């Protein structure tokens, strides 16, 4: 999680910023409170039963989600803009299909309505044209499919960075292990509106609390995340049948 905030810029861009610390991210996210005991349990619950389903793991990182989804019986394909993340995913989940791809470009290898579930965990904040990216995710989803996404909780972004909560901007922050990351700061309303514009209906919106196991991992962060919306939030959205 962010430990230092910084300057403002116009766009995040397409530089694969996670590539240089992909191995360190894996080392951290495998068992960290924020990933293993906070984000993943909530997104997996929102995905529901994945047995026999095709799941597209968007911005799949090092394959931690893919590993769990395959263990639960899903057929997983995924992509990430970081080549090193894709190597790590392939090593971790040999049955998965992974490729280097940036969400800024269309998913031109995936047919319309061919995916049961799309998982988009902790990466929306890095995308400049989020409506275009979400439209592509809606296109590849089956009509009865669902998108599950998580993002930095906007209240947490605001508590760390101050200024106007409603002032959309790109910020630079240094995350937990000294990772320099550039991401969007947008209010919750903006994410809801972008999902609407892309043709989704929000079915559920969750503000995660850490799982009880997290208390042993980091008692202080556990207590803080039990009382403050300072971490992530998670949304399940479905294709709007009227559009």
Ligand X SMILES: C[S@@+](CC[C@H](N)C(=O)[O-])C[C@H]1O[C@@H](n2cnc3c(N)ncnc32)[C@H](O)[C@@H]1O
148 in Cβ contact with 234 (< 8 Å): yes
Cα–Cα distance measured from residue 64 to residue 66, given in angstroms and rounded to the nearest whole number: 5
31 vs 223, beta carbon nearer ligand X: 31
81 vs 191, beta carbon nearer ligand X: 81
Tokens read off for 203: 């079915």
User: Measured from the CB of residue 7, what is the shortest distance to ligand X in angstroms?
Assistant: 19
Report the chain's terminal Cα–Cα distance, integer Å: 37
Q: b/e string for 186-198 if b means 16 or more Cβ within 10 A?
A: bbbeebeebbbeb
218 in Cβ contact with 27 (< 8 Å): no
Tokens read off for 44: 């997996």
19 vs 240, beta carbon nearer ligand X: 19
**What does each C-alpha distance from 33 to 89, 118, 132 come to in angstroms?**
21, 24, 32
74 vs 122, beta carbon nearer ligand X: 122
Residue at shortest CB range from ligand X: 61
103 vs 146, beta carbon nearer ligand X: 103
Which of 55, 50, 64 lies closest to 122 in space, CA to CA? 64
Which of 94, 32, 88, 23 lies closest to 218 in space, CA to CA? 32
26 vs 238, beta carbon nearer ligand X: 26
Cα–Cα distance measured from residue 88 to residue 107, given in angstroms and rounded to the nearest whole number: 21
User: Measured from the CB of residue 242, what is the shortest distance to ligand X in angstroms?
Assistant: 29
User: Measured from the CB of residue 76, what is the shortest distance to ligand X in angstroms?
Assistant: 12
128 vs 240, beta carbon nearer ligand X: 128
Chain positions contacting ligand X, by CB under 6 A? 16, 18, 29, 59-61, 64-65, 80-82, 85, 102-104, 121-123, 126-127
User: Measured from the CB of residue 24, what is the shortest distance to ligand X in angstroms?
Assistant: 12
User: Measured from the CB of residue 21, what is the shortest distance to ligand X in angstroms?
Assistant: 10
User: Measured from the CB of residue 75, what is the shortest distance to ligand X in angstroms?
Assistant: 18
Which of 44, 18, 103, 56 lies closest to 234 in space, CA to CA? 44
User: Measured from the CB of residue 22, what is the shortest distance to ligand X in angstroms?
Assistant: 7
């Amino acid at each position: 999680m962010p430990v230092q905030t910084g300057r403002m810029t116009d766009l995040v861009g397409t530089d694969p910023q996670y590539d240089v610390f992909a191995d360190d991210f894996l080392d951290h996210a495998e068992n960290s409170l924020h990933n293993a005991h906070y984000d993943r349990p909530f997104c997996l619950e929102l995905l529901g039963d994945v047995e026999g389903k095709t799941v597209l793991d968007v911005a799949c990182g090092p394959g931690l989600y893919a590993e769990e989804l395959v263990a639960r019986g899903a057929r997983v394909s995924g992509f990430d803009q970081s080549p090193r993340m894709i190597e790590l995913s392939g090593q971790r989940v040999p049955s998965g299909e992974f490729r280097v791809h940036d969400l800024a470009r269309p998913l031109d290898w995936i047919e319309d309505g061919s995916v049961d579930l799309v998982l988009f965990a902790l990466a929306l904040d890095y995308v400049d044209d989020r409506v275009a990216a979400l439209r592509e995710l809606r296109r590849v989803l089956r009509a009865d499919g669902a998108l599950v996404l998580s993002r930095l909780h906007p209240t947490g972004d605001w508590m760390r960075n101050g200024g106007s909560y409603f002032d959309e901007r790109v910020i630079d922050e240094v995350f937990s292990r000294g990772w320099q990351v550039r991401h969007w700061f947008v209010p919750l309303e903006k994410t809801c509106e972008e999902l609407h514009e892309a043709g989704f209906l929000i079915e559920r919106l969750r503000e995660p609390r850490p799982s009880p196991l997290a208390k042993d991992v980091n008692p202080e962060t556990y207590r803080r995340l039990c009382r403050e919306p300072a971490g992530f939030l998670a949304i399940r959205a479905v294709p709007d049948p009227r559009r």
